[in-house]
A and B are shown apart, each in its own frame.
Chain A
Amino acid sequence: MAFFLARRLVQAVLILLGVAAITFLLLYFLPADPAVLIAGRSATPQMVAAIRHELGLDQPLVMQFVHYVGNLLHGDLGRSYTQKTEVLPLILARLPATLILMAAGIVVEVALGLTFGIIAAVRRGGFVDRSVMMLSFVGVSSPQFVVALLLLYVFAATLGWFPMSGFGSARHVVLPALTLGVLGAGWYARMVRSAMIEVLRQDYVRTAHAKGLSGRRVVLGHALPNALLPIIAMVGIDIGQFMSGVVVVEAVYGWPGIGQLAWQAIQQVDVPIIMGVTLVSALAIVLGNLLADFVAPFVDPRIRS
Chain B
Amino acid sequence: MDEIDLQIIEKLATDARISFRKIAEELKISPDTVINRYQKLQETGVIRGSTVVINPKKVGYHCMTAFLIDASSLHILGNEANPVDSSLILGKLISMPNIILATKTVGDHDLLAIGVARDFQHLMLMTHKIARIPGVKDIQVSFWVEKSSLCPKYFIV
**Do A and B interact?**
no
| B interface, CB within 8 angstroms of A | none
